[in-house]
Structure 1
Amino acid sequence: MKETLILEPVKGNETILSIQYNHIIQAMLYNQLEEEISTFLHEEGFQKENRTYKMFTFSRLMGKFYLDKEEGKIIFYGPIKLTISSYYNEFSNSIGNNLLSSQTIKLGNNTLRVKELAVKQENIENNQIKIKTLSPIVTYSTLYRKDGKKFTYYFNPQEGKFSEIVSSNLKNKYKAYYLKDAPEEDVEIEPISKTKLSVVKYKDFVIKGYSGKFIMKGPVPLLQMGIGTGLGSKNSQGFGCVEVI
């Protein structure tokens, strides 16, 4: 389920955030959740072996803005739009109900009014869909240099490993959520437009992801999982949010 918010400042016309604002949005979302759901996602989540999935993601903020690189700030003018996506209905219901009842939220040091909340369920019926990213898709592996030191390699959409990791990730999420094996057929994803590299700092970590339009093929249940939870890794940190086009 996708919930799209239109937010506007309670006072003035500006919303001032750190340029690297993903963790600020994530904190706001957790603050909107009922305590039981927030605690479950923080401490347990949906698990498969040593991997934990939160089953939600969110978009980049959209609106008119100015980047103050010297100060490391982004200044939005007027309304801003945020899309929240989740496969976990309790999460979506809790977020939606609390936003409607509170009417205002804290985003960093800003107090914003919830001007509009639109809810959409994207039901996948075909085994081939076209999508566009609302936040970059992240796929990576931890590799070793010749000297034995570890490093993180981020794959781009032209590399076969990109599609392979997206597919494996969706199967793991499916098994974690339903506690049963995922469909055996792989998901394939490939770009149908020029892709853009984004380098985002999340707290002390640098994360690389790609945005663009893609075609996806595979089992309908896995495509549905991807549209809801996000594609690739680090979804709950604001990566891999996509919508059908």
Structure 2
Amino acid sequence: MQANITFQCNNLKLPIHYNHMLQGFIYKNIFDDDFREFLHEKGFEIDGRNFKLFSFSQLKGEYFYNRKEKTITFKDRVKLTVSSPVDDFNNEFLKSCLFSTNLQLNHQPIVVQEIDIDENKEKLNKVLIQTLSPITVYSTVQLNGRKRTIYYTPEDSLFSKYIKENIIKKAKIIYGEDFKKSDFKIEAVSRNKISENLIYFKKFIVKGWSGLFKIEGNEKLINTALDCGLGAKNSQGFGCIKLLR
């Protein structure tokens, strides 16, 4: 399920790299304390890995960019998409958004104006999607005794391979089924329809890709992608997507 939330604001000023603030806002506004702690500290475990099973978009709205201060200021309204297949997450987060009288982002008040819900229960095996936040795919290797992160581009065959492996694990948590033999492939519509993004998450640079992608494969894996996000670091604001057709 995707919740498209429009907030009223008054010159909401944020640093350019605000992903960690949105993540903190989401965790803070999960209404149930026990579920918040579970999701923040652990999440859903499978094959020795933990998944939070939510993603969120970059903010949309009319804004002013201050190059000198490296800040972005949204004038009077801003839109955030938060996506998850987990009912507890959706219910507890939206409950807080609807009933809290003190919502704040970067210590500035915001007020929910509208919430639009998309259930993401499509029966499709071929779709066109647009990123709402960049997709990041990487692996970590040892080089000369030090850890090094290698990021993959959509032109690299490992980009689709690692995304498929990742989405199969998420789908197994959600559906309780083994999807190892299921088809799933993602590729960019064209090279000029995607762009590379460099985003700081706290003190670390994350490379990702934004734009239009084609996905083919198992319908449950496609719905998992729409609900959970594609690639890595979804709960840090990467890989959130929307269905175009």
Normalising by structure 1, we get a TM-score of 0.93
Residues 109-156 of structure 1: CA deviation (Å, up to 9, x unaligned)? 2111111111111212021111110000010011344x3433111111
Query: Percent of aligned positions with the same letter in both sequences?
Result: 35
Structure 1 spans left out of the alignment, 5+ residues: none
Look up the equivalent residue of 1:162 and give its one-letter code. F
Indicate yes or no: 2:237 matched with 1:238: yes
Partner of 1:161: 158
Q: How far off its partner does 1:180 sit?
A: 4.3
Partner of 2:137: 139
Partner of 2:220: 221
Partners of 2:60 and 2:82 in 1: how far apart?
13
Partners of 1:84 and 1:104 in 2: how far apart?
19
Q: How far off its partner does 1:186 sit?
A: 3.4
Change (3 A) 1:158 1:112: same
Q: How far off its partner does 1:104 sit?
A: 4.6
Q: How far off its partner does 1:167 sit?
A: 0.3
Structure 2 spans left out of the alignment, 5+ residues: none
* Runs of 4+ off more than 4 Å: none
Q: Are 1:53 and 1:176, in contact at CA under 8 Å, matched by a contact in 2?
A: no
Partner of 1:205: 204
Q: How far off its partner does 1:181 sit?
A: 2.2
Partners of 2:195 and 2:102 in 1: how far apart?
33
Q: How far off its partner does 1:183 sit?
A: 4.6
Partners of 1:104 and 1:7 in 2: how far apart?
13
May I ask how many residue pairs the two structures share in their alignment?
241
Partners of 1:81 and 1:129 in 2: how far apart?
24
Partner of 2:5: 5
Partner of 1:76: 74
Q: Match of 1:70, SS?
A: coil
Q: How far off its partner does 1:182 sit?
A: 2.5
Partners of 1:32 and 1:243 in 2: how far apart?
23
